[in-house]
Amino acid sequence: MTSVLDLAPVVPVVVLDDAADAVPLARALVAGGLPAIEVTLRTPAALDAIRAIAEGVPQAVVGAGTVVSAAGVADAVAAGARFLVSPGWTGGLLDAMTASGLPFLPGVATASEVVALLERGIREMKFFPAEAAGGTAYLKSLAGPLPGARFCPTGGISLASAPDYLALPNVGCVGGTWMLPPDAVAARDWGRVEALAREAAGLR
C-alpha cells in the first residue's frame, strides 16, 4: 500500500456513534477525494464502522485510530483496518502494531519520542496533539536535526491552518475533523460532507 502519508493531503478523523452511518459517510469522503479514513476507537460503534467501510466501500482505505493496546490492534485487524494510528506509544504497543503487518503511525509530541522511533527504524509518525504541542513552529524546528522523520499532524488543525502544515518538508498529510461537522453528520447531510471533503482534498 502507498504510505498513508501520501494517499491524500488530509486524513479525516471520524468518530461514529452509529455504525449505520459509516458507509454513506465513507462514500461521501471518497467521492470528495479523501480515500484514507481514520475511524477512532472511541465509541462502541467503531469496530462495526470499520468493518462496514472495509466491506462496503472498497475505494476507501479505512484505518483505526486511538489504538492504545495490543488488544486494540488485534480488534482493528479483525475488523478489516488497513492502517493503525495511535495517540502515543509504548514498546509493547509498537511491537503489536509491527506484528500486525499493517502500516502504522505512532503518536509523538517530543523530540525524544521521535529519536526513539527513528532508532527502531520507524520514520512515519503522527504528531499529536499538533496545535497544543507546538504546531508548525515545533515541526519546523524538528526538520533540521531529524530530517528522517515524516509526520501526520493531528489535533486542532482547521481548513485555515492546514496549508501551513502541508507546506513543511517533513509533513506528508494532516488529520482533521473539520470536513465532518457534527450537525452535518447528525443530519446525514452527506452532500455537505462530500463538498467539504473536496475542498480539503484540494489543499497543498
DSSP H helical ranges for 148-189:
162-166, 182-186
How many of the other CB atoms lie within 10 Å of CB of 19? 19
Q: Which three cell numbers stand for residue 12?
A: 479525516
How many of the other CB atoms lie within 10 Å of CB of 149? 21
Residues serving a catalytic function are 38, 126
User: Are the C-beta atoms of 124 and 172 separated by less than 8 Å?
Assistant: yes
Q: Which three cell numbers stand for residue 150?
A: 515524516
Phi, psi of 32 (to 5 degrees): -80, -5
How far is Cα 47 from Cα 50, in angstroms, rounded to an integer?
5
How far is Cα 167 from Cα 204, in angstroms, rounded to an integer?
7
User: Are the C-beta atoms of 197 and 12 separated by less than 8 Å?
Assistant: yes
